[in-house]
Chain A
Amino acid sequence: MAAVEVPRDEQAFLEYVQAGGQIETGDWMPEDYRAKLIKFIEMHGNSELMGVLPEREWILRAPTLQRKLALTAKVQDEVGHAQLIYRVVEDLGKPREQCLADLVSGKSKFHNVFHYPTRTWGDVGVIAWLVDAAAIISQKALLKCSYAPYARIMKKICWEESFHILHGRDVILALVTGTPEQFELVQEALNRWWGPLMQFHGNPIPRDEDPMWRWRIKSQGNEEARQQFLEGYVPQIRELGLEVPDPKLHRGEDGVWAYSEPDWDELRHVVTGHGPMTEERLAFRSGFLDREQWVRDAVLAA
């Protein structure tokens, strides 16, 4: 069969990806497509790398050896994801060193949920269960990304994320079947995280106005992802006796969830580098980059 040629003009390329066509590293691509891919994938890599910090803080404080080991394995996985993802960005033309420099200088972004503190073990459970659940909804949609090398590494990432969600759910189940104080720990954490969780998938712009959808980098719109999260997880939260802190939240007869308007100003403020933990975590990451410079030097001197 004759090979399908990736078109070499922008309009035909757009039609090609919108019809489900996929692109490989060596293929021609419009500059705008390349730029959008780099921006999107780099932010994903940043989020994996910064996402381990809230959990890292709890490795030594985790209640049992089993939990410490599981948390360590999870942190190791997430850093591994960052490695895979930055490699894809690198192949698109932006070197890893530049990605890391832009991350610590605040030039590039990472997901809102990683700008907040982890106050208690309840927060660790909510992050591992619900933040990961929200993330896996986005990541599963990326299995269909028009840029094939990114879609391929997503297979491995989703496979590992499914263990993370189970680990999170296990932490939550242990707490809600424990003492009243332990149950309360989860409820308080859920109250703190619900706002950021509802902001996580982004503002509900129609998907046709979202350039990431237009280029089929994303295969679903923001609101579709949020609805999928609510549909999948609100019943699971409620069956444990937990209360979702939004009086307006309910499922309409048409199956669409209604909810209070998320605080979009907070989202903008946080992702532009003004979250409660942004500065501290970036300083921590930056310090490590400096301290580990000798490792990178040693590898290159080999």
Chain B
Amino acid sequence: MTQEVFEVFRQERKGRPFEHAGSVVAPDADFAEAWAREQYGRRGESAALWLVPRDAIRDVEDWADEFDLKYRRVDGYSIKTRLKEARERAAARPR
């Protein structure tokens, strides 16, 4: 029988995010569960595990940004020089 890779995501405590921990190779999901319980839950270090067949994961890694849409992000705003100038002008303004 062929073996399959299952990615293991573990949650440390209830309410925490599931984080990728590693993977197991198993002939089916039941064996994958047995290996994952042993390798990622044996010492009570996980509140829960997610086992996902690697082939079922849809990988998204390329992010189009043709228009350089920086105005939607924090790094799209550099106020340092203008703030400095504004402060200097304010200081020079007669009261």
Contact = CB atoms under 8 A, between A and B. Distances in A.
A83 interface: yes
Contacts, number: 48
Given A2-B65, A3-B61, A299 B38 contact: no
B31 A87 contact: no
Interface residues of B, number: 25
Contact of A153 (B21, B45, B65, B73): B21
A1 B73 contact: yes
A26 B59 contact: yes
Interface in B1-49: 1, 3, 5, 20-25, 27-28, 31, 35, 38-40, 42-43, 45
Given A156-B40, A159-B45, A160-B43, A2 B22 contact: no
A300 B23 contact: no
Contacts of B31: 299, 302
B62 interface: yes
A101 B59 CA distance: 34
Query: Majority SS of interface residues in chain A?
Result: helix
A156 B1 contact: no
A142 to B, nearest CB: 14
A159 B22 CA distance: 15
A302 to B, nearest CB: 5
The CB with the most chain A CB atoms within 10 A, among B3, B22, B24, B35, is that of: B22
B63 interface: yes
A235 to B, nearest CB: 30
Interface string A93-121: 00000000000000000000000000000
Given A1-B63, A26-B59, A152-B21, A80 B28 contact: no
B1 A300 contact: yes
Given A3-B63, A77-B43, A80-B38, 7 more contacts: A1-B73, A84-B39, A91-B5, A300-B27, A301-B1, A302-B1, A302-B31
Interface of A: 1-3, 26, 76-77, 80, 83-84, 87-88, 90-91, 149, 152-153, 156, 159-160, 299-302
Interface of B: 1, 3, 5, 20-25, 27-28, 31, 35, 38-40, 42-43, 45, 59, 61-63, 65, 73
